Amino acid sequence: MGPVMNDKIKRASQFIQALPHSVALGMELEDLNAGTAVIGMPYDAKLVGDPRTGVVHGGAVSALMDTTCGAAVMSHPSNPAGTATMDLRIEYLRAATPGQRITTTATCYHVTRSVAFVRATATDADTDNPVAMATGTFTAEGKP
Amino acid sequence: MNRSRPEPVQVVKQRRDGVLRAMVEGVPYTQFLGIEFERRGDELTGVLPFKESLIGNPMLPALHGGATAAFLEVTAIITLSWGLLWEDMESGALDTASLDAQSLPRLPKTIDFSVDYLRSGLPRDAYARARINRSGRRYASVHVEAWQDNRARLFAQGTGHFVMPHRQE
């Protein structure tokens, strides 16, 4: 990775770590590199959707998926200046185990002049059995 | 004619608002986002009052796509659950006097949820209403629309599929 790209990744990291809603949910950027992003979200009582079981709400997983997918687009080597979600579909495979951190890995696998295509997987401590999967289409703005 | 007198309006309102409150206020994440529900008869409207912590991109500024997705999903689940509870609530089969989040019947679970972002969410209150397109014994399909200033100008819409809770016989 050249120094220009390195700088670009650094700025993208700073931008992602400053998103107010992501900060409010406790998200932590773990890795960002050439179209792949990894973001973790520690378990917290405020994220609970089912008070009887303590399972995290699907909406919080959606927010994590959306942030990670957007971050993957921002870090893509094609260098989009900005991005916004057009469409995001999430499949909830199983309930995340209460108390465990949820980690999402998103990959931006194709970018056209104006559109970015992304897939993401969310896991808890049992990394072999994903909690949720996502498919998204994002805008790729400010490209020549 | 042998018809029982209709219940006093306050009794009806107290019962329905009480059940709705137990469904909404019992969920920490719904409280964290600040989502409220307005009720007219059985019709529900989700309200997401604006606050800074809902912002995604601070440059624009715009609502975070994740906050929008969560708002749509919460409105879909609450509307679907409300429809499921309605009959038992009205017939008296559900003990509505002592109802809270712990004693509430099991609610539907999301299988998948798809959000269509039509325009960026402005830094102001958002509203959402869900329509249950199918509510079967095992699965349900729900569509939900969200707007801000103009009801006809949606900023996001979503469709979700849900597994219904097992009914205790």
Nearest chain B CA: its distance from A9 CA (Å): 17
Q: How far apart are the first and last CA of chain B?
A: 34
What are the structural domains, with CATH classification, of chain A?
3-139 (3.10.129.10)
Residues of chain A with a CB closer than 8 angstroms to some CB in chain B: 18-25, 45-52, 56-60, 62-67, 70, 82, 84-92
- What is the chain A residue with the closest CA to B102? A52
Mean local confidence (pLDDT), B94-110:
79
Is residue A47 within 8 A of residue A99, CB to CB? The reply is: no
Closest CA to B39 of B47, B27, B48, B51: B47
CATH class as words, domain B9-163: alpha beta
Mean local confidence (pLDDT), A53-74:
95
pLDDT of residue B1: 56
Mean local confidence (pLDDT), B4-10:
86
For residue A3, pLDDT beyond 80? no
Average model confidence (pLDDT) for chain A?
A: 92
Answer yes or no: is the ipTM higher than 0.90.
yes
Mean local confidence (pLDDT), A1-6:
58
Q: How far apart are the first and last CA of chain A?
A: 21
> A7-21, A84-98, B115-129: which has the minimum mean pLDDT?
A7-21
Is residue A40 within 8 A of residue A24, CB to CB? The reply is: no
Residue contact B57–A19, C-beta within 8 A: yes
Average model confidence (pLDDT) for chain B?
A: 91
Residues of chain B with a CB closer than 8 angstroms to some CB in chain A: 26-33, 52-58, 62-67, 69-71, 73-74, 101-102, 107, 109-117, 120
